Amino acid sequence: MPNSLTVAIVDDEAHMRDSISQWLELSEIPTQSFASAEAALAEIGSGFPGIIVSDIRMPGMGGMALLKRVQQLDPALPIILITGHGDISMAVEAMRAGAYDFVEKPFDPDRLADLCKRAIEARRLTLDNRALRRELSDGTVLLRKLMGRSAAVERLREDILDFAQADGNVMIWGETGTGKSLIAHAIHACGTRQGRPFIVLNCAAMSDDAIEQRLFGPSDTAEIRPIMEMTVPCTLCLEEIEALSPAMQVRLMTMLDSLAQEAAEGEAPRVRLIAVCGQAENDATIKEALRQDLFFRIAAMEITAPSLRDRGEDVLLLFNRFAQLFAEDYGCEPPQLTPNDAANLLRADWPGNIRQLLNLAERAVLQSRRGGEDVSALLASETSEEAEVMVKPLKEHVEAFERMLIENSLNRHNGSVARVMDELALPRRTLNEKMAKYGLSRADFV
């Protein structure tokens, strides 16, 4: 979706289209103009990245008819109607029919600009929510979010694809900040339940009564059906499952036994359970907190999110990616890692894992923008003296940094091998050999 959404101006009078366009562009709002509703409809679809400002009275299809057609295409697409002095009753009718608002001629340009800005923010929120829903139902998108080339991440992707094709319950382990919730979403989205409901309950944040009501009912509203009364297949994700009380653990066992009976009769269980633990697999408190019989019902399949310190040079790849994204958000250039920065990132212990790295990348971008501390200084400020230092051979540090330099250069030059050769002072044969060694393809950067 574009960073700046567009206002589509629909008016049969050229001078009015030009005037509105000039007023809005003075407020830094991009516009495009259409001389008729028919011409606008030929360009505007359900995913239109913007809003509509239309005159209510036009030859052929007027603003009211345009509103009705757009409502059929996308009920959440805001339309602001421009009315004449005698059209107030029609404008009120349009508001009831779903128009965002209206302005009366002669109108205040500042008020129109303010209306457009508010409508654009409403549209941006709608499109962002739709994009998020698409991502959460698209397994390939979610797998791409599991960035990295390390063996640990490759195994994780393979496990997700394998488990996604099954109907058994899954237990997800991992330290804080390793992306366990993303893994749960990916298992759901890559399997046969793709596009079906994915329901998340945080056991540590909900009372027993709230959890039981959500699982078994009765529901407070007709729109939310208890999970065990749902007729379509769904996935239930219980986060921090170790926080369940003993009484709720018994109720959950009853539910799982009922679902297992459905499976025994040859039907896929309506509810697939994915349990996300708040701690790593080797934390004995998890197994102590759960009844043994419940644990074995849940842990039919187990998957562990790898810690960041076990992912090698993925640390540099992730840092550069996060820094690039934050730099785009803040409108500045991402910080360039020095060899010392890269070495410190690679040997850090990362107790907060990816979440900690993400926070560091944002701080580094902000500091870089105002000429503050470098990445190594920021990292040192949040690393305790007692933190374990992961010692790695010099060869690994050199190769990781070399790969990062080549990848960054390919990114900057959109895959232009000639420009990368000039920037890094490498002969073509040497560059080709190193790209092959590190699994880098020019096509990935074009």
For 301, list phi and psi in degrees, rounded to 5: -130, 140
| CATH class of the domain defined by 139-306 | alpha beta
Rounded to two decimals, the pTM is: 0.63
> Given this chain, do its domains 6-135 and 308-390 carry the same CATH topology?
no
DSSP letters of 106-168?
S--HHHHHHHHHHHHHHHHHHHHHHHHHHHHT-HHHHHHHS---SHHHHHHHHHHHHHHT--S
* Domain spans in the chain, listed from the N-terminal domain onward: 6-135, 139-306, 308-390, 393-446
Contacts of 107 (CB under 8 A, 6+ apart): 82
Do the beta carbons of residue 360 and residue 382 sit within 8 Å?
Answer: yes
Which positions ≥6 away from 35 have C-beta within 8 Å? 11, 12, 14, 17
Q: What is the CATH number of domain 308-390?
A: 1.10.8.60
DSSP state of 278: S
**DSSP collapsed to 3 states, 347-411:** HCCCCCHHHHHHHHHHHHHHHHHCCCCCHHHHHHHCCCCCCCCCCCCHHHHHHHHHHHHHHHHHH
Per residue of the chain (446 residues), what is the pLDDT tens digit? 344 799 999 999 999 999 999 999 888 899 999 999 999 999 898 889 999 999 988 999 999 999 999 988 888 899 999 887 666 777 788 888 888 998 888 888 888 999 999 999 989 888 887 776 666 556 677 777 888 888 899 999 999 989 988 888 999 999 999 999 999 999 998 888 888 899 999 999 999 999 999 998 876 655 578 898 888 889 999 999 999 999 999 999 999 988 888 777 777 788 999 999 987 666 667 778 889 889 988 988 999 999 998 898 899 889 988 998 898 888 888 888 887 888 888 888 899 999 999 999 999 998 888 776 788 888 887 654 333 444 456 666 677 778 878 887 887 788 888 888 888 888 888 888 888 888 888 887 87
* H-helix segments, 207-245: 208-216
- Which among 174, 175, 195 has a CA at the least distance from the CA of 185? 195
CATH superfamily placement of domain 6-135: Response regulator (3.40.50.2300)
Q: Cβ-count burial of 257 within 10 angstroms (0-12 exposed, 13-18 middle, 19+ buried)? A: exposed
